[in-house]
Amino acid sequence: MNIAVIDYQGGNVQSVLFALERLGVQATLTSDPAVIRRADRVLFPGEGEASSAMRALRAAGLDRVLPTLTQPFLGICLGMQLLGRHSQEGPAGGTELLGMLPFDVVRFAPPDAAHKVPHMGWNNLHDLATPLFAGLGPAAGVSSRADSPHLPAAPSLAPTAAEYVYFVHSYYAPVGEYTIAQASYPAGVPFSAGVRYRNFYGVQFHVEKSGPVGEQILKNFLTADLT
């Protein structure tokens, strides 16, 4: 299988490549549009800040390439947020994003000094949908968005150990019709831990740092029918 990992100086690339190697997969780190278009699967990792990431994508012409892709595509952490329309992060007025999914990225607003930003550490997922999360989570709630025009009916997902994954983020996508997994900020604010529109998927957490659960999600991304 031909796997492309987008190279736009977005950080966190090596840990994603190592996670794929642990699964026996050799991926190509690339910013070449032709290589990206030929790939069977595309991974879009990212750490850092939205406005500088968008400058790098525009400089490489990837802001025009990525929205045209038709193969399964997975954005990770900042890579997920960049799929949205606009982020509050960046200079005054925020940052215009790729516009591939219909959400706006907002900053957590802690209610008191006891609640910290960034939201950092292990948190559990719930309300899982789509084959990206096959093998994880209780079946309850899986089909709650099956009638969305963007989301096919999800299979029943057999429960396993608690689905804890690793987050590091100060900004988030609110829950909407594009949401395929949820988590909650400690102050009780729900947010999209996973999103999808057509062939474009995203996860807010770091799959490559999320132990067996992250490994299962990566396996699903590589092998499941996600179109």
Catalytic residue among 49, 89, 163, 208: 208
Residue 154, Cβ neighbours under 10 Å: how many? 21
Tell me, yes or no, if 115 is annotated catalytic: no
**Residue in 49, 89, 206, 215 annotated catalytic:** 206
CA-nearest of 130, 64, 57, 153 to 100 is 64
**Cα angle 166, 172, 175; round to 5:** 105
Catalytic-labelled residue, pool 77, 89, 163, 169: 77
Distance CA 124, CA 133 (A): 13
Gyration radius (Cα) of the chain, Å? 16
Active site annotation includes 77: yes
> Which residues touch 117 (CB under 8 Å, ≥6 apart)?
107, 108, 110, 170
DSSP one-letter code for 126: B
- Residue partners of 67: CB distance under 8 A and separation at least 6: 98, 99, 100
User: DSSP of 99-118, one letter per residue?
Assistant: -SSS-EEEE---SSTTS-SS
Give the chain's length: 227
Query: Has 208 been annotated as catalytic?
Result: yes
Q: Which residues are catalytic?
A: 77, 206, 208
